[in-house]
Structure 1
Amino acid sequence: MAEAGSGDIEDVPPAASLSDKIEWLIQNLWPADAPPPRNNLETAAAIASATGEDISSTTVWKLRTGRQDNPQFRTLTALATFFGVPIGYFGFATESAGITDVLTLRALCQGAERGTVKPEIVRAFLSLSPAARWLVDEIIIAAAEADRVRRDGESSEGG
């Protein structure tokens, strides 16, 4: 399990599974005022403490691993409240498409606040001409794909 708030902002497509969406939230939008979780027990405790909703470490584990994909509404409400996302994020692809883009930008801003993303890089990007932005876009997309392939190769070799 990667460290929450590690700064590696990964894209979660709107059609991603519930487990992928929850894992993305843990990795990218973990609240700054909650200590980073080291395991599912700490994740559940942080959510319960912040929301008042009793959520077990087993529930967190099932949700993160895809063993439960239809949780109770109150569990989804607690997750939405804790991560500060609309409950529609957990819904169908048609409901969550725009939400995912907004959350990705929010995760990027949190990375800048935490020092895992350099604010001067974001400012420099915004000052580029449209042609230069297109080039940077292409480089980032290619780098992300290469990194994804590398990680997939590492996980298949280790498992």
Structure 2
Amino acid sequence: MQGISPGATLAEKVEWLIRNLWPAEAEAPRNNVETAAAIARATGEDISSTTVWKLRTGRQENPQLKTLTALATFFGVPIGYFGFPGEAGPIDDDLTLKALRREVEHGVIRPEVLRALVDLSPEARWVVDEMILGAAAADRHRSSRRGDERDHQRKP
């Protein structure tokens, strides 16, 4: 799990929510049709799969307030999360912590690892911080290279 970057676009924020804060009580979606259906079922707001696709791909930068309200309700985030890039820093930090707690609850991150991190000296914690940041940067680099390779394969 990677936190949302401070300058994230609306598309990046929506994608981050789908990947990191999908409600446990809702079946994980396999596509935009299932994503839209789950949001509509949970919120009562009619949202189309096309709208979800446009939001996820950045083709819709200015959705209706009712769409943002449905997303905020479904994912349990404040409506301010969808503000302009770079403006939601404290909200983004809170959501990153919420996603981290979910990772612990679902056994993706073991609680004893977090407890051990708290018990480390400041110097040892700094070393671990640097290792995690390095691993995250390498993971992002690998992901972007895979995306570039897929894009290259699609071109005629």
What corresponds to 1:3 in structure 2? none
Structure 1's consecutive aligned runs of 4 or more residues displaced over 3 angstroms after TM superposition are: none
* TM-score computed with the length of structure 1 as normaliser: 0.91
Residue 95 of structure 1 aligns to a residue in which SS?
Answer: coil
Alignment of 1:64-79 (within 5 A): 64-79=56-71
Which segments of 5 or more consecutive residues in structure 1 lack a partner in the other structure?
Answer: 1-8
**Aligned residues with identical type, % of pairs:** 64
- Following superposition, the deviation at residue 94 of structure 1 comes to 5.1
Structure with max Cα Rg: 2
- Matches of 1:12 and 1:52 in 2, distance apart? 27
- Following superposition, the deviation at residue 16 of structure 1 comes to 0.6
Q: Which amino acid aligns with 1:31?
A: P
What corresponds to 2:126 in structure 1? 134
What corresponds to 1:90 in structure 2? 82
- Matches of 2:30 and 2:112 in 1, distance apart? 30
Aligned length: 151
Question: 1:96-144, CA deviations, whole angstroms, 9 ceiling, x for partnerless residues?
Answer: 1111011001101001111112111111111111111111000000111
* TM-score computed with the length of structure 2 as normaliser: 0.93
Alignment of 1:96-135 (within 5 A): 96-135=88-127
Question: 1:18-49, CA deviations, whole angstroms, 9 ceiling, x for partnerless residues?
Answer: 00000000000000110100110110011111
- Matches of 1:94 and 1:17 in 2, distance apart? 9
Residue 45 of structure 1 aligns to a residue in which SS?
Answer: helix
